[in-house]
């Protein structure tokens, strides 16, 4: 008797789902308005414990497969300044790196990883808050170079089947310190991987990327003058 294989969904936090969606998004130049080039890939979960980082790793391994690109109009532009940061200013390790990236962007180049994928990675919460969980240096560099909206920079977006991620999934961004947090108070904290372990989890000082940019702006200008 022939058996039919079915896709088994994983149940977590009250939802049943078996994949995350990774969107590779690049600006698309058009005289008719704001557009992006979007490639969407379903990354199937092997275990219910698979984190957002696991999904990114799996995506990077599978991205060589044929991916269909779609041109989409941006109907609701997202301000870069309003996106939530996960580092305070003391978590930004290299102003020199930012200065070099700004020169690259102003020369017409994008800031990408060695694999050719964007360094900038984001998720959206159930409350429709955008969170930058990787690529703070690249993100700040684009802002300093004059970019204003998210559709103007290359980036990756990771989503669940419901087009967002839940608060418990966000805790993975704090590493082992996530045990000290819960799915409602994480917004009060940021992480600084450059600090000794006992001081890596910090109270939030800058509430978004705009405030973070304002905090480093004086220092960045000082670095540029001192060069």
pLDDT exceeds 90 at position 218: no
What is the tens place of the pLDDT at every residue in 47-58? Answer: 888 999 999 999
What is the tens place of the pLDDT at every residue in 63-83? Answer: 755 578 899 999 999 999 999
What is the tens place of the pLDDT at every residue in 3-37? Answer: 333 334 445 444 456 899 999 999 998 888 899 99
Non-local (6+) Cβ contacts of 68 within 8 A are: 39, 40
pLDDT exceeds 60 at position 225: no
Per-domain residue ranges of the chain: 78-226
What pLDDT, on the 0 to 100 scale, is given for residue 48? 81
**pLDDT confidence bin for 184, thresholds 50/70/90:** confident
- Name residue 23's beta-bridge partners: 40, 157
Q: In terms of residues, how long is the chain?
A: 227
Query: Which of 4-18, 114-128, 168-182, 183-197 shows the lowest mean pLDDT across its residues?
Result: 4-18
Give me the chain's average pLDDT, please: 88
């Amino acid at each position: 008797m022939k058996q039919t294989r079915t896709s088994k969904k994983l149940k977590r936090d009250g939802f049943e789902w078996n994949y995350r969606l990774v969107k590779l998004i690049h600006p698309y130049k058009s005289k008719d308005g704001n557009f992006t080039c979007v490639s969407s890939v379903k990354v199937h979960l092997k275990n219910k414990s698979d984190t957002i980082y696991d999904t990114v790793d799996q995506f990077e391994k599978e991205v060589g497969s044929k991916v269909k690109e779609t041109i989409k109009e941006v109907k609701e532009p997202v301000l870069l300044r309003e996106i939530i940061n996960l580092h305070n200013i003391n978590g930004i390790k290299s102003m020199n790196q930012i200065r070099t990236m700004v020169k690259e962007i102003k020369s017409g180049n994008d800031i990408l990883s060695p694999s050719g994928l964007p360094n900038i990675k984001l998720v959206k919460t159930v409350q429709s808050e955008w969170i930058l969980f990787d690529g703070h240096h690249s993100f700040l560099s684009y802002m300093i170079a004059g970019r204003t909206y998210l559709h103007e920079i290359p980036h990756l977006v990771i989503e669940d089947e419901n087009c967002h991620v839940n608060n418990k999934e966000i805790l993975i961004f704090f590493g082992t310190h996530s045990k000290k947090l819960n799915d409602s108070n994480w917004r009060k904290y940021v992480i600084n991987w450059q600090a000794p372990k006992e001081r890596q989890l910090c109270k939030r000082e800058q509430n978004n990327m705009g405030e973070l940019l304002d905090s480093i702006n004086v220092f960045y200008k000082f670095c540029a003058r001192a060069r």
